[in-house]
């Protein structure tokens, strides 16, 4: 059974780094690379081999609904692949990037704890352990945001910690009400019992979870912590926060709870529609006015999360398809954009677009990959962002929601305008650069090239024949609550 290894591998790596690497910093890098590589191979193997199967694993002798259960279905496998890809490339990017701050084994130990927490949230089948792993990920993230030791980073980490505590309290309140009403914390069992519960209680459970995990996802109006945290953190951590953390702890859990547990009640899908549209428009308007490259990217995270929420709110199979595809695509192109920003900041010592210019000559790999990522996030064919946004727009039209489709198109056009500004001032035009403070090495370039290739390659996921074995099983899991309950509760006898 491979499920426990998603937790054991990064947790063991974090422990060994703390134990061994205090005297030998190189061991921190070696152990981290081994762990992230192993997780990437494991997640890809599971995703390819499992197809639409569901696997459960009991971590105790207690039977359901009292025992602790891990669950891996198509949705879980899909998210694990996303997290593993970004964790691997962020780790590779970190090897050189962190040296210009300080070479410290603590960074790698915290990084592996962050991965442990995210993987735990993704594979757990009960609310209690979801909360525990969420806190492991969040405390690691708080420390990593403040890693550079500048006043700006400490302030951002403090804001993040405060808002994270508020969201954790709301989630804990939701878990408490859930247990009080159902006498279980196993998600599949809660889903089975929920139809017998008073509707007012269900509403309050949903409200607590919507607010708590909405804060984790940084959707409007729960976004206040995100711009500072994402812009102040070291670039590879910014990519982890924007690329996977807000999805694993926010969007993924919202999908799992409101679809597989709550069966997508109309009141909450309508909230997704409204929050998604507001996030798309306000997020992109806030981004356009920024000159700090990383802060601009942070606001675009809010806008792009809006597209995912919009697809979830449409709640048709096509809308769900667009949402999960854009979730994956956003992890790829947004992480790449933060790598680009980190490369520029390390090389030039600035994030101000007005102090850059004509970087194509001195940072060719960064410039070329940033163009690919900019076109991807703007929804330009043939890059991955075009196809996921197009699916969401078509889904809105088919569902009789034309105005939501219009807002999605407007958001994409404004995103293109914003990244034309980035390309114009940052990478084209006259240079404002006298010399490089640091050289961007092959490891950082390799991480950027991998994600740039994926910005094109992942477009193939919607090709007939490929879609049936990649995205369609994920959509099936999300849309079919009954199957999730039966597979989890019935699957324990065979594992």
Q: CA-to-CA distance for 233 and 114, rounded, in angstroms?
A: 14
Residue 292 falls inside a structural domain: yes
Angle among Cα 293, 297, 299 to the nearest 5 degrees reads 120
- The whole-chain average pLDDT of the chain stands at 86
Q: Is residue 478 part of a domain?
A: no
* pLDDT tens sequence across 466-495: 999 899 999 998 887 676 776 666 655 444
Q: How many CB atoms lie within 10 A of CB 382?
A: 12
Tell me which residues of the chain have a pLDDT lower than 50.
493-495
CB count in 10 Å sphere of residue 58: 17
The residue count for the chain: 495
**Degrees (nearest 5) of the Cα angle 142, 145, 148?**
130
Q: Reduced to 3 states, what is the DSSP secondary structure of residue 357?
A: coil
Is 390 part of any domain?
Answer: yes
At residue 218, what are phi and psi to the nearest 5 degrees? 65, 30
pLDDT of residue 357: 75
Q: Assess whether the previous peptide bond of 221 is cis (omega < 30° from 0).
A: yes
Taking Cα atoms as reference points, which of 105, 107, 84 lies closest to residue 5? 84
Check residue 493 and give its pLDDT.
47
**Which letter, b or e, does each residue of 333-354 get, where b requires 16 or more Cβ atoms within 10 Å of its Cβ?**
bbbbbbbbbbbbbbbbebbebe
pLDDT of residue 492: 52
On whether residue 222 sits in a domain, the answer given is no
Residue 494's pLDDT is 44
Dihedral sign from CA coordinates of 411, 417, 421, 424: positive
- Select from 375, 339, 374, 343 the least CA-distant residue to 359: 343
Is there a domain that residue 108 lies in?
no
Residue 392 belongs to some domain of the structure = yes
Residue 31 in domain: no
From start to end of 275-375, where are the E strands? none
| Domain that residue 328 falls in | 276-462
* Cβ(91)–Cβ(32) below 8 Å: yes
Give me the half-sphere count of Cα atoms (radius 13 Å) on the Cβ side of residue 178.
27
**Residue 418 within any structural domain of the chain:** yes
Q: Per the structure, how many domains does the chain have?
A: 1
Three-state SS for 421?
A: helix
Tell me if 219 sits within 8 A of 279, measured CB to CB: yes
CA 434 to chain centre: 36
Please tell me the predicted confidence (pLDDT) of residue 22: 62
User: What pLDDT score does 67 carry?
Assistant: 62
| Residue 424: partners with Cβ closer than 8 Å, 6 or more residues away | none
């Amino acid at each position: 059974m491979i499920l426990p290894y998603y937790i054991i591998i990064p947790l063991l790596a974090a422990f060994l780094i703390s134990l061994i690497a205090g005297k030998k910093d190189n061991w921190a890098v070696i152990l981290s690379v081994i762990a992230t590589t192993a997780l990437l191979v494991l997640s890809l193997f599971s995703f390819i081999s499992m197809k639409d199967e569901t696997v459960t694993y009991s971590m105790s002798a207690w039977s359901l609904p009292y025992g602790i259960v891990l669950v891996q279905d198509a949705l879980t496998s899909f998210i694990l692949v996303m997290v593993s890809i970004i964790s691997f490339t962020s780790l590779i990017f970190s090897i050189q990037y962190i040296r210009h701050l300080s070479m410290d084994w603590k960074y790698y130990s915290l990084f592996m704890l962050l991965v442990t927490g995210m993987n735990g949230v993704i594979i757990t089948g009960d609310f209690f352990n979801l909360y525990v792993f969420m806190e492991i990920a969040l405390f690691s993230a708080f420390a990593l945001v403040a890693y550079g030791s500048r006043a700006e980073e400490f302030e951002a980490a403090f804001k993040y910690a405060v808002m994270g505590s508020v969201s954790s309290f709301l989630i804990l309140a939701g878990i408490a009400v859930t247990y009080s009403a159902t006498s279980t914390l196993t998600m599949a069992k809660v889903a089975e019992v929920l139809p017998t519960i008073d509707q007012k209680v269900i509403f309050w459970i949903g409200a607590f979870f919507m607010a708590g995990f909405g804060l984790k996802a940084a959707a409007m109006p729960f976004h206040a912590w995100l711009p500072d945290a994402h812009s102040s953190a070291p670039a590879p951590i910014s990519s982890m926060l924007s690329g996977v953390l807000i999805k694993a702890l926010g969007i993924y859990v919202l999908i799992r709870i409101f679809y597989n547990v709550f069966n997508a009640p109309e009141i909450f899908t309508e909230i997704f529609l409204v929050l998604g549209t507001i996030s798309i428009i306000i997020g992109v308007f806030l981004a356009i006015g920024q000159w700090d490259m990383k802060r601009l990217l942070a606001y675009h995270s809010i806008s792009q999360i809006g597209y995912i929420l919009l697809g979830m709110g449409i709640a048709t199979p096509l809308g769900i398809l667009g949402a999960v595809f854009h979730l994956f695509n956003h992890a790829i192109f947004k992480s790449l954009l933060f790598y680009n920003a980190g490369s520029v900041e390390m090389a030039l010592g600035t994030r101000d677009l007005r102090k850059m210019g004509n970087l194509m000559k001195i940072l060719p790999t960064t410039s070329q990959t940033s163009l690919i990522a900019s076109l991807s996030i703007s929804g330009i064919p043939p890059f991955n962002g075009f196809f996921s946004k197009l699916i969401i727009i078509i889904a809105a039209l088919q569902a009789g929601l034309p105005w939501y489709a219009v807002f999605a198109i407007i958001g994409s056009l404004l995103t293109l305008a914003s990244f034309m500004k980035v390309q114009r001032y940052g990478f084209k035009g006259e240079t404002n650069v006298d010399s490089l403070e640091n050289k961007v090495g092959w490891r950082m370039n390799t991480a950027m090239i991998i994600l740039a290739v994926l910005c094109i390659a992942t477009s193939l996921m919607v090709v007939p024949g490929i879609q049936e074995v990649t995205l369609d099983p994920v959509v099936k899991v999300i849309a079919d609550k009954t199957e999730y309950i039966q597979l989890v509760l019935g699957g324990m006898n065979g594992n």
